[in-house]
């Protein structure tokens, strides 16, 4: 790495860091104080942020905690980035699931031990051959508009809405699902054409919540007016979304679990400035921070505030893999040697240590090292710029001839810095890369429609590889509409066949052997530049209880979260 690059991206010394933080913090504080003097906090454009009205209630870091649940209070969080949609059944974006997870519910969920637990399905059973599943649904559940929940809602969601809205689910449906039928008012029967190892993960990961059939059946789900006012079965009901400012949810007074939720509501504040988010937490205006809500460089400092806890628990199902996607439809990334060169050009340990402040682990292949199917013998690509240059020379491609655009979906913070670092690292081996930053919705649209050369992305490898890894690489998942599929255009028929065989294998040893072959092939093809395994910190105030109760982190419903 050049001296110039080290100076650009090296972490500040303690004194430099303090001075820089004071400068940013002072500016942010001035904005907040000026806004508070006028009766509402604002950052850009005079937009009122909901936590201003809650400021006197939200703080409580020094309050005395009590041992039994206390009713009332509004939980104040950040929605960072602002979600493209709140209908997470149609928009599988982490920001959509974060908010939508309080409004909508699926059939099943996973606890912190990654065991299936009931949600809208109270019980279930599977046939010995793995081809027939029966679900008994919860009684006395009502949608937020008062209509009763039942088997028809599940049938319409699984057989009509989700397959049409999400390309990967269409493939799963067509390949494996024989029928989804209501065998009673509160009973659903799913019959498969052949065994499918990812079914439990599909139903329990929170990525496939049930939508109301009376609002969606027979309609185009993506253009449905019901999307503007979400109606779910969850513990919180949608109240208001002021774009660029906040999203408000209120307690569901008719929730099907007696006595829950404890909270009066949740407000998700939309603050585009990382320094502003940090100051809001310092001032006691926000109860909790997820990874990415503030700059990683601020986490250690904020964790030392009185009454604040730091944990990496609660993300057991949502272990993330961060990767750099290379559009293989055109030069120079249509050449495998060039793609391998990218991996050698990136100092991934530097990214983990200096940009994400140690919250991560360098990736070795496409599977997380915590996966039961991970193969430690997968080919490795060490940081070696000379090797990168040699591979480029061997490829015969002039990688600097064509200007390339790296699409970044976050303004400020670690993801923008890693994009800038990547630009510099690739420039050192001959690439001509420019970073273009947009908002979450813009990034989503650009990547989903293949309008990029390079783009950072991450995906939670939630459980079974068939559902959480395969969509990134299978050639039958090359379709526009979602950035969480095979948007890079990778094709390998032999690997496709291995994915099919692994998905249907019932012997765990056989599945491990097949997945080992897949990992080796994907690594050699440099199908995606896997960069690091994500470690997700959560900061929260000690007077917030039951915040992390499942393996899906704060994306969970928060039905039994309380403030005391």
62 pLDDT above the threshold of 60 = no
State residue 39's pLDDT score: 31
pLDDT at 519 over 70: yes
pLDDT at site 1: 41
In whole numbers, what is the pLDDT of the chain averaged over residues?
Answer: 86
User: How far is it, in rounded angstroms, from Cα 354 to Cα 9?
Assistant: 8
* Tokens describing residue 21: 């933080």
Both tokens of residue 94? 């982490």
Q: How far apart are CA 462 and CA 472, in angstroms?
A: 14
pLDDT for 237 = 98
| Cα–Cα distance for residue pair 522/185, rounded to 1 Å | 46
- Please enumerate in sequence order all residues whose Cβ is within 8 A of that of 525, keeping only pairs 6 or more positions apart, or say none: 336, 339, 490, 492, 495
Q: DSSP code of 194?
A: S
pLDDT at 33 over 60: no
Sheet containing 74-78: order of strands: 74-78, 265-269, 246-251, 236-242
Using pLDDT thresholds of 50, 70 and 90, give the confidence band for residue 66.
Answer: low
pLDDT at 27: 40
CA-CA distance, 171 to 156, in Å (whole number)? 17
Among all chains, which residue has been given the structure tokens 């979450």?
440
Residue 6 pLDDT: 38
Give the N- to C-terminal CA distance of the chain in Å, as an integer: 50
Burial 309-341 (b: 16+ CB within 10 A, else e): eeeeebbbbbbbbbbbbbbbeeebbebebbbbb
Structure-block tokens of residue 147: 């209509």
- The mean-pLDDT minimum among 59-68, 515-524, 535-544 falls in 59-68
Residue 292: count other Cβ atoms within 10 Å of its Cβ: 22
Which tokens sit at 174? 């067509």
pLDDT for 23: 34
What is the average per-residue pLDDT within 280-305?
Answer: 93
Does residue 319 have a pLDDT over 70? Answer: yes
Q: Which pLDDT score is estimated for 37? A: 33
Distance, in Å, from the CA atom of 208 to the CA atom of 108, rounded to the nearest integer, reads: 10
- The answer to whether 60 and 284 have CB atoms below 8 angstroms apart is yes
Mean pLDDT calculated for residue range 518-526: 97
CA-CA distance, 329 to 295, in Å (whole number)? 34
Distances 510 to 441, 462, 504, 505 between C-alpha atoms, Å? 41, 21, 10, 7
Tens digits of per-residue pLDDT, 225-257?
Answer: 999 999 999 999 999 999 999 999 999 999 999
Assign 226 to helix, strand or coil. helix
At the topology level, CATH places domain 108-226 in: Dipeptide-binding Protein; domain 1 (3.90.76)
Could you read off the pLDDT of 474-501 as tens digits, one per residue? 999 999 988 989 999 999 999 999 999 9
At 44, is the pLDDT very low, low, confident or very high (cuts 50, 70, 90)?
very low
What interhelical angle do 493-504 and 508-525 show, nearest 10? 160
Joined tokens for residue 320? 């993330």
Q: How far apart are CA 314 and CA 379, in angstroms?
A: 31
Task: Name the CATH code of domain 320-534 (choices 3.40.47.10, 2.40.160.40, 3.40.50.300, 3.10.105.10).
Answer: 3.10.105.10
Given this model, what pLDDT does residue 17 score?
A: 37
Q: Which of 459, 455, 449 is nearest to 482 (CA)?
A: 449
**What is the fold, at CATH topology level, of the domain defined by 14-82+236-312+537-563?**
D-Maltodextrin-Binding Protein; domain 2 (3.40.190)
**What is the pLDDT at residue 51?**
57
pLDDT for 353-405, tens place per residue?
A: 999 999 999 999 999 988 889 999 999 999 999 999 999 999 999 999 999 99
Which residues, in sequence order, are bridge partners of residue 108? 118
The SS3 assignment for 93 reads coil
Give residue 342's pLDDT: 98
> Is it the case that residue 407 has pLDDT exceeding 80?
yes
What pLDDT is attached to residue 50?
62
Give residue 273's pLDDT band: very low, low, confident or very high (50, 70, 90).
confident
pLDDT for 464 beyond 90: no
Assess whether pLDDT exceeds 50 at residue 303: yes
Among 500, 507, 442, residue whose Cα is nearest residue 470: 500
Mean pLDDT in residue range 43-60: 42
Conformational region of residue 102, where left means phi above 0, alpha means psi within -120 to 50, and beta covers everything else = alpha
* Highest mean predicted confidence (pLDDT) among 10-14, 252-256, 459-463, 535-539: 252-256
Look-up of token digits 């209120």: 250
Measured CA to CA, the distance from residue 116 to residue 9 in angstroms comes to 43
> What are the start-end ranges of the H helices in 38-166?
51-58, 94-100, 151-156, 162-165
Give residue 29's pLDDT band: very low, low, confident or very high (50, 70, 90): very low
What's the pLDDT tens digit per position in 420-435? 999 999 999 999 999 9
Q: Is the pLDDT reported for residue 19 higher than 70?
A: no
Q: Where are the domains of the chain?
A: 14-82+236-312+537-563, 108-226, 320-534
């Amino acid at each position: 790495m050049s001296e110039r690059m080290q100076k650009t991206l090296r972490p500040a010394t303690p004194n430099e860091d303090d001075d820089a933080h004071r400068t940013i913090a002072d500016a942010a504080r001035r904005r907040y104080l000026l806004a508070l003097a006028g009766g509402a906090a604002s950052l850009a454009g005079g937009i009122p942020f909901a936590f201003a009205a809650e400021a006197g209630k939200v703080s409580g870091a020094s309050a005395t905690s009590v041992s039994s649940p206390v009713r009332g209070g509004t939980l104040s969080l950040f929605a960072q980035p602002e979600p493209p949609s709140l209908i997470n059944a149609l928009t599988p974006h982490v920001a959509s699931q974060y908010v939508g997870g309080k409004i909508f519910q699926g059939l099943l969920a996973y606890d912190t031990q990654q065991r299936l637990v009931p949600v809208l399905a109270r019980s279930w059973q599977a046939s010995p051959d793995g081809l027939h599943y029966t679900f008994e649904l919860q009684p006395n559940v009502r949608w937020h508009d008062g209509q009763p929940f039942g088997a028809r809602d599940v049938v319409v969601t699984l057989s009509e809405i989700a397959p049409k809205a999400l390309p990967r689910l269409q493939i799963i449906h067509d390949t494996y699902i024989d029928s989804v039928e209501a065998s009673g008012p509160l009973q659903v029967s799913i019959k498969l054409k052949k065994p499918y190892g990812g079914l439990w993960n599909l139903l329990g990961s929170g990525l496939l919540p049930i939508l109301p059939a009376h609002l969606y059946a027979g309609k185009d789900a993506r253009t449905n007016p019901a999307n503007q006012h979400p109606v779910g079965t969850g513990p919180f009901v949608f109240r208001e979304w002021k774009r660029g400012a906040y999203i408000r949810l209120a307690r569901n007074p008719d929730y099907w679990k007696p006595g829950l939720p404890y909270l009066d509501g949740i407000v998700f504040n939309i603050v585009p400035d990382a320094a502003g988010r940090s100051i809001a937490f310092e001032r006691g205006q926000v109860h909790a921070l997820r990874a990415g809500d503030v700059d990683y460089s601020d986490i250690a400092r904020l964790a030392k505030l009185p009454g604040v806890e730091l944990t990496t628990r609660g993300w057991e199902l949502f272990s993330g893999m961060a990767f750099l996607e290379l559009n293989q439809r055109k030069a120079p990334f249509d050449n495998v040697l060039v793609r391998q060169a990218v991996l050698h050009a990136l100092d991934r340990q530097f990214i983990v240590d200096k940009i994400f402040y140690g919250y991560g682990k360098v990736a070795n292949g496409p599977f997380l090292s915590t996966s039961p199917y991970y193969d430690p013998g997968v080919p490795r690509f060490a940081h070696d710029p000379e090797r990168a240059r040699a591979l480029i020379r061997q490829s015969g491609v002039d990688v600097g001839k064509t200007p390339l655009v790296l699409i970044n979906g976050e303004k400020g913070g670690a993801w923008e810095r890693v994009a800038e670092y990547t630009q510099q690292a690739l420039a050192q081996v001959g690439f001509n890369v420019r970073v273009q930053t947009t908002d979450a919705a813009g990034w989503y649209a650009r990547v989903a429609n293949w309008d990029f050369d390079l783009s950072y992305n991450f995906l939670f490898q939630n459980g079974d590889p068939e559902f959480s890894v395969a969509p990134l690489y299978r050639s039958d998942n090359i379709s526009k509409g979602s950035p969480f599929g095979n948007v890079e255009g990778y094709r390998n028929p032999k690997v496709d066949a291995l994915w099919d065989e692994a998905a249907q294998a019932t012997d765990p040893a056989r599945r491990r052997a097949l997945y080992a072959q897949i990992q080796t092939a994907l690594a050699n093809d440099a199908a995606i530049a896997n960069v690091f395994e994500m470690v997700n910190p959560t900061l929260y105030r000690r007077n917030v209880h039951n915040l992390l109760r499942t393996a899906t982190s704060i994306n969970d419903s928060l039905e039994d979260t309380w403030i005391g």
